[in-house]
């Protein structure tokens, strides 16, 4: 995002799940040095460190990696266990497929799928089980899975296209760095399209590097 800062829209959106459950997030914002009045300013921005810490504190207070947007909680540690389940896969395709299968074991979880389309591969997220009015969680999942895959193979996966089932939002300018590719709204699915050659690439990470990675992820993946 612009100048290594995060638009206030994403802060407001991140809090919606907790507020829906009756949590007063004002003390949390003040703890992070974010003035609540700042969220009423559409052009206001916060530091990436503040945003990453906000997401971490929301996970801790809610014990929910879905931040209150799912029908059921995804308890803290779920993402980490998924990463340990995939870290010894021989290729990115195996890792992404196993990760998607891992989350399919949880009822009411947003479905993640990997499909080949000729020379291309598409990672899709079905958010039909979510209460996600700002599309914050589904967009976060796309970002996290794209950046996780890139980290696993040690190179950035170049995106060809990002599609979204909803209409273009007012803050669409922020997507230039979140999804640096062609973007289509009001599409049939929410997904990322990239070249299938990445799927055959071997994983360059192991449990040692994963342990370090998980100290700050996936919040760090969102805040970059």
Averaged pLDDT, 3-30:
92
Tokens of 123: 């990672």
The secondary structure element, H or E, covering residue 182 is strand 182-184
pLDDT above 60 (res 2): no
Averaged pLDDT, 155-183:
94
Q: Is the overall model pTM greater than 0.85, yes or no? A: yes
Classified as helix, coil or strand, 11 is helix
Classified as helix, coil or strand, 185 is coil
Averaged pLDDT, 9-29:
94
Q: CA dist 103 to 79, 82, 122, 190, 195, Å? A: 9, 8, 17, 17, 24
Tokens of 204: 């360059």
Least confident window among 67-81, 102-116, 206-220:
206-220
> Greater confidence, 222 or 123?
123
């Amino acid at each position: 995002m612009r100048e290594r800062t995060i638009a206030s829209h994403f802060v407001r959106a991140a809090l919606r799940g907790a507020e829906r459950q009756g949590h007063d997030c004002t003390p949390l914002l003040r703890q992070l040095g974010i003035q609540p009045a700042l969220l009423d300013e559409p052009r206001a921005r916060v530091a990436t460190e503040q945003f990453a810490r906000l997401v971490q504190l929301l996970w801790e207070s809610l014990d929910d990696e879905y931040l209150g947007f799912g029908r059921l909680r995804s308890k803290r540690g779920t993402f980490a266990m998924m990463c340990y389940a995939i870290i010894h896969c021989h290729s990115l395709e195996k890792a992404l497929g196993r990760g998607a299968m891992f989350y399919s074991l949880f009822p009411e979880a947003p479905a993640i799928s990997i499909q080949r389309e000729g020379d291309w591969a598409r990672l899709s997220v079905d958010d039909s089980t979510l209460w996600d009015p700002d599309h914050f969680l589904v967009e976060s999942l796309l970002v996290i899975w794209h950046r996780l895959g890139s980290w696993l193979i040690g190179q950035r996966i170049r995106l060809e296209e990002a599609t979204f089932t909803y209409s273009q939002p007012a803050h669409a300018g922020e997507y230039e760095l979140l999804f640096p590719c062609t973007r289509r709204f009001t599409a049939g699915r929410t997904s990322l399209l990239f070249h299938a050659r990445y799927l055959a690439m071997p994983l360059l990470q192991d449990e040692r590097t994963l342990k370090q990675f998980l100290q700050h992820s996936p919040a760090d993946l969102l805040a970059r």
